[in-house]
Chains A and B, each alone.
Chain A
Amino acid sequence: MEPQYHITQLNEHAVLISLGNVIDREINKKIISLHDQLRLNPFDGFIESVPAYSSLAVYHCSRFSVVKNELDKTMEKLHSGNAHKSKLLHVPVLYDGEDLAYVAQHHRLRLEDVATLHCSLIYQVFMIGFLPGFPYLGKVDDRIATPRKDTPRSKVPAGSVGIAGFQTGIYPQSSPGGWQLIGRTPLKIFNTSKEQPCLFSAGDEVKFFQVSKSEFDSLNEY
């Protein structure tokens, strides 16, 4: 595996290693492996690394030239044996979102088809960002891929499950947001009373399953 990679400065204490500008499972897996390797074998001056779709930020208290050297060495040693050990999480969803009808109409589907298609694939957690604990998942079936809303909502409730293009995600806190809301999960995916507050990490896998209103109510953690 010798993907083309580019190392550039984000600023004087962060470096970006990029494998392109794409949403791709294999490329993202390489980013996560690199993230794992750096955390397992941190170089002198390493602070933390942050994986995104096809790039990784490496925060440091060293110099760019030193960090670049370290990253070149790590990339050289990176091989398929370093693949991230992902865990699969099953996430219940009540498909009653405010935009469910819009998404169905957009693709000339029945409401239940949207739910079925959304539950049909195992998604990869590409990255966590935007809000504490917000997982960027994908890719969804192209029969339900739907562009963001033109005008974002000023308040999306916590637990809302949405679609934006080929991405799907869950709002961990209530916040403004422009994703098409198709349902909600009763799980608290970001729980500050837990020592490990974030249910997902980048590299994990997620499969949604449909629950009824009464099942939702009995599982509801909010």
Chain B
Amino acid sequence: MSIKISKPAIISSVVATERTGYRSWGIGIGGAMDFFAMSVANFLVGNDRQAVIEMGYSSSEIFVEQDLVIGVTGKGVELRVDEKIIPLWRPVTIKKNSLLKLLKKNDGAWAYLAVHGGWVAEEWLGSLTTNFSASKGGFQGRVFHKNDVIACFENSAGHQLKILPWTISAQQLDEVYSPSHEIRCLPSVETALLSEWSKQKFTSEDFVISPQSNRMGYRLSGPSLLLNQKLELVSSPVDAGMIQLLPDGNLITLMADCQTTGGYPRVASVIKADLPKLAQCMPGEKIRFKMISLQEAEQQGYSFQNQLAELKRSCHLQFKNYFH
């Protein structure tokens, strides 16, 4: 029961639920860049928190060695199974010896491939997700190389190429990914230390995702910001979504594989519900920050969790009805 990654994307690895509980040892939580797309990929194929393959920034080709039920979600690719175009965000049964192509499109950065039962991945410290700095978890603790073979657990086979009849609504997708340039954030520890001019520029001007962006952080270019006075900080904890002000006046937003501590001022933090949208921004794309209150952010967090729980319930019900 396996697939062969005949052509991996530039950054392709196994992701899963975050590795919490070890940040005090400097071990970051990692996880998917777009945890919404990762979660939905799992739900569509009847999974909960199984390991998923994440593919970023370029095309991939995957040879499927047996009948499978898969789901591809995320953005930035067109899915073809044996040259037939298949929509994303749908569960699909495919027959053995099929060739999956994920062709790069410019509407996003990361795509997710889930299989019913999950991919076989290495567990480390309670999580299946890859940790690149420790070279542990996921698929041998590393990105995929050409012709890597990854196995999956028991799969209810489909025997033919068929798009199954449940999905996520366009409206639900819009709630997560639209409008694509507006990123909501809330104040963080050093926000008050920004100069008045910088505070105003932060939410009134566009910032552009720089090409020097990766799973650890997205660098931004835009107006150069400053603090009221020069400040040397001793290292203090940081988290994904945090926006740090670098000594040159530019900003960086920390992403899934960020360090656990850092020494730059934390001038804002992207709310968790908008991290999938931010993650899907390609280098060169413009974003505009919008400050919201803590109460709004907490409310968004709860409704986002509820939305995911509701999606899981409905996908699982339909999966069960279809296959049993």
Q: Which residues of A contact B (CB under 8 A)?
A: 8-14, 16, 18, 21-23, 35, 47-57, 59, 63-64, 127-134, 136, 173, 175, 190, 192, 197-198, 201-202
Per-residue interface assignment for chain B, residues 65 to 95, with 1 indicating a CB less than 8 Å from any chain A CB and 0 otherwise? 0000000000000000000000000000000
Interface size of B in residues (CB-CB distance below 8 Å): 42
Q: A21-B233, A55-B237, A202-B24 are in contact. Are A11 and B131 (CB under 8 A)?
A: no
Q: Is the CB of A192 within 8 A of B294?
A: no
24 A-B residue pairs with CB within 8 Å: A9-B186, A9-B187, A9-B188, A9-B269, A9-B294, A10-B189, A10-B242, A11-B269, A11-B271, A12-B301, A16-B237, A47-B21, A48-B23, A48-B24, A49-B24, A50-B260, A52-B237, A59-B23, A129-B235, A130-B26, A130-B235, A192-B124, A197-B134, A202-B24
- By a CB distance below 8 angstroms, the chain A residues around B135 are 192
Contact of A131 among B133, B236, B239, B297 (CB under 8 A): B133
- The 8 Å CB contact of A132, one of B26, B234, B269, B294, is B26
Asked, given contacts A11-B269, A12-B271, A192-B136, whether A131 binds B26 with beta carbons under 8 Å apart, the answer is yes
Option from B27, B186, B189 in Cβ contact (under 8 Å) with A16: B189
The residues in B between 181 and 205 inclusive whose CB is less than 8 angstroms from any CB of A are 186-189
A132 to B141: give the CA distance in the assembly, Å: 14
- Chain B residue with Cβ nearest A57: B237
Q: B261 near A: Cβ within 8 Å? A: yes
- Name the A residues within 8 Å of B260 (CB-CB): 50, 128-129
Q: Could you tell me the distance in whole angstroms from the C-beta of A128 to the nearest C-beta in chain B?
A: 4
Report the bound CA distance from A49 to B28 in whole Å.
13
Residue contact A190 to B259, C-beta cutoff 8 Å? no
- B229-251: contact bitstring with A at CB < 8 Å (1 yes, 0 no)? 00001111111011000000000
Q: Are B272 and A13 in contact (CB under 8 A)?
A: yes
Between A13, A18, A22, A50, the greatest number of chain B beta carbons within 10 A of the residue's beta carbon is seen for A50
The verdict on B323 contacting chain A, using a C-beta distance below 8 Å, is no
7 more CB-based (< 8 A) A-B contacts, given A9-B188, A129-B26, A132-B27: A8-B189, A11-B241, A55-B236, A129-B259, A129-B260, A129-B261, A192-B134
